[in-house]
Amino acid sequence: MQTRVSIVIPTLNEANSLERTLRHLALLHPPAAEIIVVDGGSEDETVAIAEAVAVSGCMPPGTQLHLLETEQRGRSLQMNFGAEAATGDILCFLHADTWVPDDLVKVMSHTLEDAQIACGGFVCLLAGPQTTRWGISLHHYLKTYYAPLLFRPRLFFKGLRLLFGDQVMFCRRQDFWECGGFDPALPIMEDGDLCLKLVQKGRICMVNRVVQTSDRRVAHWGSLKATAIYSYIGFLWGLGVSATYLKKFYADIR
């Protein structure tokens, strides 16, 4: 019996990215069982786009596209809300500005066939209309390894890797809820926190496949400033600084 995958997409004013993301998901082979868009009160055309795609008939047979709207704004809250509605065996958390390979479902299912793996993610390549951010993408990849080695060495050798939302995190639904899901109190670094909890269930796996995500933060800040902000937030979080404090350095960019 084929493993059922639920893809959860938290959105807030993602009109510039969401339609492209959903069109990519319509090409998945094998298809996902369901795609759940969880909107936290968008003031642009995000909701209308999701509704239009849902009735367009572009999704393959067997894939349900659901739109959930909630007043609980924030990625942790929205992703938990979507996970509560999900029925799949595997939960995949996808940002609205990230695009995945068409064999996504197969890769995730195959990865989690290994009972010793609790969570997985992909190599993330930041790119925009004019350029690919090779340097920052490489740093994000290396940070997955050096950050847990530096700040949580005991857990690193137990299998901890520090994944981020842009890397399309996925795990078993049962493991997700047994670990308590995303911490609803965290406005940032909820992905790293989930890794710390899931490593108690098994290894965190970096899949040797690429997903592409928008470089809009880097384009807005510039490469040097973006690298400094990413490094600063990661370093302070590793030292235990409050995520609420760190959020002020990580403004929303659309």
The closest alpha carbon to 94, from 3, 212, 242, belongs to 212
Query: Could you read off the pLDDT of 34-49 as tens digits, one per residue?
Result: 999 999 999 999 999 9
Determine the Cα–Cα distance for residues 84 and 73; give it in Å rounded to an integer.
Answer: 16
Rounded to 10 deg, the angle between the 134-151 and 223-238 helix axes is: 10
CB 233 within 8 A of CB 189: yes
Hey, where are the domains in the chain? 5-249
The closest alpha carbon to 143, from 235, 241, 252, belongs to 235
- What residues contact residue 180 under an 8 Å CB cut-off, 6+ apart? 197
pLDDT band at 252 (very low <50, low <70, confident <90, very high): confident
Query: Could you read off the pLDDT of 232-251 as tens digits, one per residue?
Result: 898 899 999 998 888 888 86
Cα pseudo-dihedral 73, 74, 77, 81, rounded to 10: 60
Query: Could you read off the pLDDT of 102-143 as tens digits, one per residue?
Result: 999 999 999 999 999 999 999 999 999 989 999 999 999 999
Stronger pLDDT, 246 or 148, i.e. the higher one:
148
Residue 249 is predicted with a pLDDT of 81
Q: Which CATH number among 3.10.20.30, 2.40.30.10, 3.90.550.10, 3.40.50.450 corresponds to the domain 5-249?
A: 3.90.550.10
Find tokens 């600084």 and name the residue: 241
The pTM for the full model equals 0.95
Enumerate the β-bridge partners of residue 132: 127
Query: Could you read off the pLDDT of 189-204 as tens digits, one per residue?
Result: 999 999 999 999 999 9
DSSP-derived 3-state class of residue 87: coil
What single string gives the DSSP state of each residue in 102-134? TTHHHHHHHHTTSTTEEEEEEEEEEE-SS-B-H
Query: Could you read off the pLDDT of 9-34 as tens digits, one per residue?
Result: 999 999 999 999 999 999 999 999 99
Taken in order 163, 169, 175, 180, is the CA torsion positive or negative? positive
